[in-house]
Chains A and B, each alone.
Chain A
Amino acid sequence: MRLADYRNKEALKQVPTRNGFGEGLIEAGKADPNVLGICADLSESTRMEGFKKAFPERYFQIGVSEQMLVAMGGGLAESGKIPWIASYAMFNPGRSWEQVRTIMALNEMNVKIAGAHAGVSVGPDGATHQAIEDIAIMRVIPHMLVVVPCDAIQTKKATVQLSRMWGPTYLRFGREKSPVVTSEETPFELGKAQVFRDGDDCAIVACGILVYNALVAANELSEEDGVECRVVNNHTVKPMDEATILAAARDCGTVVTVEEHQIHGGMGAAVAETLAQQYPVPIEFVGVNDRFGQSGDPNELIEHYGMGIGSIKEATRRAIKRKQR
């Protein structure tokens, strides 16, 4: 897997994943005239602005009405449109969960949710705007596709591919600049987890912007402890690539999951459900542990809530120790 040189922090590009969404949406719009953008008063910050400029006749501003985003999207999808509905993840799908369940999933409508500003890395806005329960409430709904790309380039690719693919969808991304670990050449396929680093002492299964932290942690563990961790970018939380996760568990014998989300019900829980049934191994979970976020600097919050590189290393050491017992 060709990656950027994540070891060289200075050389690494830092781009918000939301930018990837904005670029991807324009590309998707060029490829298919049915692609629409609907926004609830956050076109600039969700990066729908570019699509609005490129395709004004296919952009709809509806004001602060997040339930309306879903319902109107469902109505438009009935005629074969492919509406992307954008707001902050906290409100879309946070505020509109029942509409997502009824109108998109049960009703089988091809609506695409763009959940921006996910995670505590929203930073100063504080707990009200930090969606850390969204993966849980989306992955529990039948038919929903849940995708959490690892960087801006991958978010762009995901946006383009999701636009081509039929199905109710949740795409989650963040606000802050985050390291771009993939390149244009890095392959990306929905539903196919990616092994970003090889190893068989422990599998670190991550999604979203914390994939970078997982890679750095794995590297430092190699230098400090002489253990080699396999890092899996588990971008498609649902339907999950069980084969890649099972292979990692079998080869490594222990797993650490890493996500910017509550531990309960998130991507790690999905991994645990699969492994508990098919190949039980010790698992450690890195994520927010049943707490709300708060205002602060994004990196400070990632550290405070136990998702920093040090926390991942500690969790990995615990996981390896449990394996040896």
Chain B
Amino acid sequence: MALSPERVLELKLRANDIRQGIIRELVAAGSGHSAGPLDMSDIFAALYFHILRHDPKQPDWPQRDRLILSCGHIAPVRYSAMAYAGYFPLEELLTLRKFGTRLQGHPERVRLPGTETTSGPLGEGLAQGVGMALAAKADGKAWRVYVVTSDAEHQCGLHWEAVLTGAKFKLDNLISIVDRNVIQIDGNTEEVMPLEPLADKYRAFNWAVFECDGNDVAAFIETVESAKQVEGKPAVIIAHTLPGKGVSFMEGDYLWHGKPPNREQGEIALRELSAERERILAHA
């Protein structure tokens, strides 16, 4: 079913909300990652406001789809999306990384219900997703497992153990989404440790492979719909994203992978995002 223009507009505005939330979180925290959360905002808007079956008032609803954030360092995007979706008040975003917060620097399931796993140590999310998808199959449950991974965590051995295992058990209720922004802390992924040809690797491991523009909500949702039709194997969506997307001075610069904007930079970023919001509305 094609998305209505109204729906696409709504999701674009949600993505813009999420980005503004991220900037506020990071400025308040004074530390944290910028580029990844910003480039994944469109995908998280699509997930929380269109794709996932979930209930923000009942984060442990047994029939919910499971969304695992494997690359825990981009938690600000998840927290922002969860806040806008109604899991907790928007003000709580300003507690990110502070003593006593539920919004830990890297997410903890026990502290913040709805995060599904405790993540941060890289390369572990898909492996847990395989376990969850296997449990759903064993119990004949209809819920799906979505895993968001970074590209650089494909350098971890455990991730590939999970890729093998997902194929072995034919987990067609599992969709993995790769944030292919081509950056990591030390630079370009292809210089640090080349991942290409990434799609071919997954094909060789017996996965169904899709690629899309990860900053285009409509294209992403369409790709997820195709991935859901796959039978007998898990699916991966390699989502090509622009690091720092939405903030001009961060876009495409790996140096923004692991640092937050200061207050002044934050204000510039929020101004840019507000202007972008006006443009989205003007084009509607």
Contacts and interface: CB of A to CB of B under 8 A. Distances in A.
Contact of A67 (B134, B135, B157, B164): B157
B110 A107 contact: yes
Contact of B164 (A65, A79, A99, A103): A65
Interface of A: 57-58, 60, 62-63, 65, 67-68, 71-79, 81, 83, 98-99, 102-103, 106-108
A98 B120 CA distance: 11
Nearest to B157: A67
B104 to A, nearest CB: 10
Contacts of B169: 60
B131 A75 contact: yes
Contact of A65 (B110, B129, B141, B161): B161
A71 B157 CA distance: 13
28 contacts: A57-B138, A60-B169, A65-B164, A65-B165, A67-B127, A67-B158, A68-B158, A71-B128, A71-B162, A72-B131, A75-B128, A75-B131, A75-B132, A75-B135, A76-B131, A76-B135, A78-B66, A78-B135, A79-B132, A81-B135, A99-B121, A99-B124, A102-B124, A106-B108, A106-B110, A107-B109, A107-B117, A108-B110
Contacts of B165: 62-63, 65, 68, 72
Contacts of B164: 63, 65
B78 to A, nearest CB: 16
A320 to B, nearest CB: 48
Nearest to B131: A75
B136 interface: yes
Interface residues of B, number: 32
Given A72-B165, A106-B108, A98 B131 contact: no
A73 B127 CA distance: 9
Contacts of B109: 107-108
Contacts, number: 93
Interface in B133-168: 133-136, 138-139, 141, 157-158, 161-162, 164-165, 168
B25 interface: no
A60 B133 CA distance: 13
A73 B162 CA distance: 12
Contacts of B138: 57-58, 81
Contacts of B133: 75
Nearest to B106: A102
Nearest to A36: B138
Closest 10 A/B residue pairs (Cβ): A75-B131, A71-B127, A79-B135, A65-B161, A68-B161, A72-B131, A75-B128, A107-B118, A75-B132, A76-B131
A234 to B, nearest CB: 30
Contacts of B239: none
Contacts of A60: 134, 169
A99 B158 contact: yes
A34 B131 CA distance: 14
Interface of B: 66, 108-110, 116-121, 124, 127-136, 138-139, 141, 157-158, 161-162, 164-165, 168-169
Contact of B132 (A62, A68, A76, A99): A76
Contacts of B116: 78
B127 A72 contact: yes
A60 to B, nearest CB: 7
A76 to B, nearest CB: 4
Contacts of B161: 62, 65, 67-68
B131 A71 contact: yes
Given A60-B134, A63-B164, A79-B132, A71 B110 contact: no
Contacts of A98: 121
Contact of B162 (A68, A102, A103): A68
A72 B161 CA distance: 10
A73 B134 CA distance: 10
B170 to A, nearest CB: 13
Most central of A57, A81, A83 by chain B CB within 10 Å = A81
Most central of A58, A67, A72, A81 by chain B CB within 10 Å = A72
